[in-house]
């Protein structure tokens, strides 16, 4: 049975700020409008979408239980371009034939860029 990943729900403190972050730095399309309690972000390449949901005050954000990994061909170039637009990544790490770097979104959720898919 086929079951492709369709969406990831992110709980955030500031829905519009988070939607803008993923649209600006990772190329998602969004109207920014809240509909049915969510802001929908659509991937340009038919990848999984992101649904931004308002977090309850009791929800503890920024845990390491989930990390969003974005596939990029050239990690160093992406890091440099993101820095010009205001997003700072940590050190670029080299692994078994690929590289990756980590950052945080506005709610301190872990995000990573990786060239692993292209090795």
Band (pLDDT 50/70/90 cuts) for residue 64 is low
* This prediction's pTM: 0.82
Give pLDDT, residue 3. 63
Could you tell me which CATH number the domain at 64-119 has?
Answer: 3.10.180.10
32-45: pLDDT as tens digits: 999 989 999 999 88
Query: What does the alpha-carbon distance between residue 116 and residue 57 come to, in Å, rounded to a whole number?
Result: 36
**pLDDT at residue 6 is higher than 70:** yes
> Is 3.30.70.3340 the CATH number for 1-56?
no
Q: Say yes or no: do domains 1-56 and 64-119 share a fold.
A: yes
Please, how many CA atoms are within 13 Å of residue 39, restricted to the half-sphere of its CB? 24
Q: Mean of the per-residue pLDDT values for the chain?
A: 91
Instruction: Tell me which DSSP letter residue 90 carries.
Output: -
Q: Locate the domains of the chain by residue range.
A: 1-56, 64-119
């Amino acid at each position: 049975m086929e079951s492709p990943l369709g969406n990831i729900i992110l709980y955030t403190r500031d829905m519009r700020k988070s939607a803008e972050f993923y649209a600006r730095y990772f190329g998602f399309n969004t109207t920014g409008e809240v509909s049915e309690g969510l802001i929908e972000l659509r991937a340009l390449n038919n990848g999984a979408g992101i649904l931004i949901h308002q977090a309850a005050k009791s929800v503890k954000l920024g845990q390491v239980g989930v990390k969003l990994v974005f596939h990029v061909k050239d990690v160093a170039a992406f890091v440099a371009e993101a820095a010009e637009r205001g997003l700072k990544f940590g050190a670029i790490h080299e692994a078994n034939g690929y590289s990756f770097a980590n950052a945080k979104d506005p709610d301190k959720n872990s995000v990573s860029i990786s060239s692993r898919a292209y090795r």
